[in-house]
Amino acid sequence: MQTHLRTQSPCYLDSPWLRFLDETGWHWCQPDGMHLDFATGVLTIVEVKYQHTPQAWEQMEDLYSPVLRYLFPAALWQIRYLEVVKWYDPAVVCRDAVRLVAAPFLQHYLRGVHIWKPSPRG
Tell me the domains of the chain and their CATH numbers: 2-115 (3.40.1350)
Is residue 73 within 8 Å of residue 111, measured between CB atoms? no
Please state the pTM of the whole predicted model.
0.91
- Count of CB atoms situated within 10 Å of the CB of 7: 9
Nearest to 117 by CA among 57, 50, 56, 54: 50
Is residue 48 within 8 Å of residue 63, measured between CB atoms? no
Q: What is the pLDDT of residues 27-58, one digit of tens each?
A: 999 999 999 999 999 999 999 999 999 999 99
Instruction: Tell me what percent of the residues of the chain surpass a pLDDT of 90.
Output: 76
